[in-house]
Amino acid sequence: MKVVLKHLTKKFPNRNKKQPDVIAVNDFNIEIPDGKLIGLLGPSGCGKSTALNLLCGLLKPTSGKIYFGEDDVTSLPVENRGVGMVFQNYALYPHLTVKQNIIFPLENLKGVDKLTKEQMSEKAYEVAKLVQIDTLMDRKPSELSGGQQQRVAIARALVKMPRILLMDEPLSNLDARLRLQTREEIRRIQKKTGITTIFVTHDQEEAMSISDMIVVMKDGVIQQIGKPQEVYDNPVNQFVAKFLGTPPINLFEGEVTDGKLYIGESDVMLVQNVPNQKVVVGVRPEGFVLDEDGALCCELKGVEVMGRDITVVSEHENSIDVEIRSIISSENQVDTEADRVHFALKREKVYLFKVDTGERIRF
């Protein structure tokens, strides 16, 4: 099911009545293609959960329209939208068994959709097999691990074959190892069912790794929409560049003078077509190349060997963050005793941003 949001806006009245309203979701325009896995990504409080609640119908938008396929569902109550939702804390009913939890949505069906006990049980087992919990059907949620509870929550959301599946921070309650496993699992289930799935997360790695498309948000405003790799390689502004990628992008105070980019005293790169101005220079960790003759000279602070690659931690007086983290292949030898380290920069991993607005300067 295709999902289209048109000028979707949600305002909350401010607690302090004299202050202006809080705009949690500001003029959203997205078209989400059918059968894709979409990650809504942004820092805490950026309005991504609000957006999800608007989609699911638990909140009513202040203005704008929501379409599922061709249907305008903006004013449709939550129960008629045909959405399945996985809540952040799973919201499994603790007094019911796994099976009863999964069947619960089916028991609400009325009229022609009404199912017999056998049909319900059959459907429950079907979806339980899909998420691989069919051996746990008689347990209570408290007798399950976090990952298993998550699967039950997904099964409950899927059992009535929703048009759209929504997930609110689906992995945030799991430990690191389980998170990795579960996100693959979510991907697999989504692929298998082909249900358009929208999930919310503040973890960029999570969003990048499994989404077909990510929507990066900040303060209720969409910053960028696109395939994860595209957004990573081609951020529209400093916020998006900073938010995506671990370790995060390294930012420097720089200046463009006569087609040359300077960081401090050293000119690091030729940038034609950029007028003279002060800029913020962003360099991805993988954009550094160890080079004796490299223009960028940093104070070496340490070397972290991770096996496959090496993280070089260094400092530079024009760096905006305290540390510069650069990742280089472990084939390189780094003299850990040296005081200084020289880098050349990969052109396609360097981004320039305006100092005041953070907007990208193309070169």
Residue ranges binding other proteins (CB under 8 A): 56-58, 78-80, 83-85, 87-89, 91, 93-95, 104-105, 107-109, 156, 160
Considering the complex, what minimum distance in angstroms separates the CB of residue 87 from other proteins? 5
Considering the complex, what minimum distance in angstroms separates the CB of residue 183 from other proteins? 21
- Residue among 84 and 147 whose Cβ is closer to other proteins: 84
- Residue among 109 and 305 whose Cβ is closer to other proteins: 109
Considering the complex, what minimum distance in angstroms separates the CB of residue 211 from other proteins? 22
Taking Cα atoms as reference points, which of 237, 164, 232, 230 lies closest to residue 204? 232
- Residue among 106 and 274 whose Cβ is closer to other proteins: 106
- Residue among 165 and 268 whose Cβ is closer to other proteins: 165
Considering the complex, what minimum distance in angstroms separates the CB of residue 207 from other proteins? 22
Considering the complex, what minimum distance in angstroms separates the CB of residue 32 from other proteins? 19
Determine which helix (DSSP H) or strand (DSSP E) holds 305, and give its type and residue range.
strand 296-305
Locate 132 and state its tokens.
Answer: 């691989």
Taking Cα atoms as reference points, which of 236, 228, 246 lies closest to residue 351? 236
- Residue among 160 and 179 whose Cβ is closer to other proteins: 160
Please give the sequence-ordered ranges of beta strands (E in DSSP) within 148-287, or none if there are none.
164-168, 196-201, 213-218, 221-226, 250-257, 260-263, 266-270, 277-283
Considering the complex, what minimum distance in angstroms separates the CB of residue 160 from other proteins? 7
Which residues neighbour 178 within 8 Å (Cβ) at sequence distance 6 or greater? 145, 146, 147
Within a 10 A sphere around the Cβ of 3, how many other Cβ atoms?
22
Number of helices (H), then strands (E), belonging to the chain: the values are: 8, 21
Locate 239 and state its tokens.
Answer: 């916020």
- Residue among 168 and 267 whose Cβ is closer to other proteins: 168
